[in-house]
């Protein structure tokens, strides 16, 4: 598929291949009902696949005092880390929230309605860090 020209790969052939791949992904996304945000999340995960796995654990539970669910993120690293968290709701017209959270070494944080987000079933959480592979979490029934 890639043609070598004088020891170099043809930029034209590479771009043509990328366009074809993007067309296939776009068609598959349309067919399976993916949103542009779903495709963006997919590209974020794929673009970081070469990086090490994040040293975190993500769990969720029903909120005790409020409504919805609470997400618990535990940092297992030996240093404090700042993560970018993209929260997207499928039940509320794809509302997006982005926040950066710092989690101390061997500590955890909780995110729920007290922090401004009442997670519902189907909500998606994309967690990323510049040195680690991005991961997508979906609130599912237990």
Residue 4 has what pLDDT?
44
Residues in CB range of 24: below 8 A, 6 or more apart: none
What's the pTM? 0.72
Residue 91 has what pLDDT?
67
CA distance 15 to 130: 26
Higher pLDDT, 12 or 33: 12
Higher pLDDT, 58 or 30: 58
Which homologous superfamily is 56-138 in? Immunoglobulins (2.60.40.10)
Residue boundaries of the structural domains of the chain: 1-34, 56-138
pLDDT tens track for 9-30: 677 777 788 778 877 877 776 6
Residue 98 has what pLDDT?
85
Residue 93 pLDDT class (50, 70, 90 cuts): low
Give yes or no for a contact between 85 and 116, defined as CB atoms under 8 angstroms apart. no
């Amino acid at each position: 598929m890639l043609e070598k020209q004088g020891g170099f790969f043809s930029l034209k052939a590479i771009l043509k291949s990328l366009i074809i791949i993007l067309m296939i992904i776009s068609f598959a996304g349309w067919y399976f009902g993916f949103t542009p945000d779903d495709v963006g999340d997919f590209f974020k995960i794929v673009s970081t696949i070469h990086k090490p796995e994040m040293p975190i654990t993500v769990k969720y539970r029903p909120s005790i005092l409020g409504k919805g669910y609470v997400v618990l993120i535990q940092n297992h690293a030996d240093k404090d880390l700042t993560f970018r968290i993209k929260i997207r709701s499928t039940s509320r017209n794809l509302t997006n929230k982005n926040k950066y959270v710092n989690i101390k070494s061997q500590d955890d944080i909780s995110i729920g309605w007290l922090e401004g987000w009442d997670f519902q079933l189907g909500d998606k959480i994309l967690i990323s860090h510049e040195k680690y592979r991005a991961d997508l979490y979906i609130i599912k029934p237990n």
